[in-house]
Structure 1
């Protein structure tokens, strides 16, 4: 399944947002620097989600090739490398990749390949596992199903990823967000349910199983983890 026009448009908008607007914010949020109370809850929520996602993978990953799709500033990639994995860490934002490279511990540099580009690029090759924390939250159900279709032939074990859940609070925030001009706000998160993504997978003819894992709620950070098994 080729990338859809909506996937391409959303990807371009996300790239522009992170390289033009959000790089410094994310650099600080993912560091140990003091942040505001709201951002502290987001930082704590992301830390919990990263640990939850990593818990779905073996504690020993020696010999495994793992994709960190939308690696941001590199925290997940470093943890995977510490478990012995050979990691391909890719992000759409060259600026965030630069930060990730600078933060990578010297003793793990040989285990992580950092790249700027599309997380679904076929030239990245095959993987035993893939993870995508908060990098698919801007895409509609059909695009999410398309991502799974494109990864499935290159995936041996599982793909753990996050989406924004369809809670009353997030749905209200999502509807309110539509009222603002797109040029004046960040790319909009699209809330999803497990059933909605499963239906989109059926429509797209995507095989495999999609399993709900758990939800993390920490202040303004609300995210659900799912596991796709080809």
Structure 2
């Protein structure tokens, strides 16, 4: 499946199928114990990715690539960053914009569409939390090459690691008709990705978060 087909499938899922679920998960509303582990894991991963950036982001332009409901956007703006918050789902972008406090709105530009579009301009840093997890190794390489060409600092992103649990879920998921399931995460090994991008930049390991049903690996790319 090409990048464009995967992107369109992700847009359909989050904008038409899972909007309400995602809105609830990213709020303070009560959720099931399983989703609570995902909520906690995502909070831990946000902290991990943010820790790779300077504490003071005043005057720093940051792309929140795949901003979702805007939790990362909020944190970046609180640090003083000029944020471009992009998501393929217009519904999630609206939720993110509505939730952002008025005091932070001047620091954020929201847009719905492809996070890789050159129309978004150049950046000091990029954060792509859980927005590349559905893509192939070649697609991730092209995404990093694209973003790296317009980024003076780092591109911090996450992948689904190749753990036995996730690999089992991946193979099991392939047995179901595509129309009956959400976009499937594609697990990746950091060492293999490091070799794949070695000719365009350096890949650093930022650590892993393992919280119940949320398992994610943080990586930093520097062109």
| TM-score over 0.5 (shorter chain) | yes
Equivalent residue for 1:168? 164
Over aligned residues, Cα RMSD in angstroms?
Answer: 0.9
Alpha-carbon distance between aligned partners in 2 of 1:56 and 1:104, rounded to the nearest angstrom: 23
Q: Report the CA distance between 1:207 and its aligned residue.
A: 1.4
2:206 corresponding residue in structure 1: 213
**Where in structure 1 are there 5+ consecutive unaligned residues?**
none
- Once the 2 structures are TM-superposed, how far is the Cα of residue 226 of structure 1 from its aligned partner? 0.1
Match of 1:223 among 212, 216, 219: 216
- Residues 1:190 and 2:183 aligned together: no
**2:124 is aligned with 1:142:** no
Off by >4 Å, runs of 4+ in structure 1: none
Q: Normalized against structure 2, the TM-score is what? A: 0.98
- Give the corresponding residue for 2:16: 20
Please list every run of 5 or more consecutive structure 2 residues that lacks an aligned counterpart in the other structure. Answer: none
Q: TM-score, normalised by structure 1?
A: 0.95
Within the alignment, does 1:199 sit opposite 2:195 as a pair? yes
Secondary structure in structure 2 of the residue aligned to 1:62: coil
- 2:136 & 2:194 partners in 1: Cα distance? 13
Cα distance in 1 for partners of 2:173, 2:51 equals 33
Which deviations, in whole Å up to 9, do the C-alpha atoms of 1:90-132 show, x marking residues without a partner?
0000000010011000100000001000000001110000001
Q: How many correspondences in the alignment?
A: 223
Q: Distance in 1 between matches of 2:141 and 2:194?
A: 8
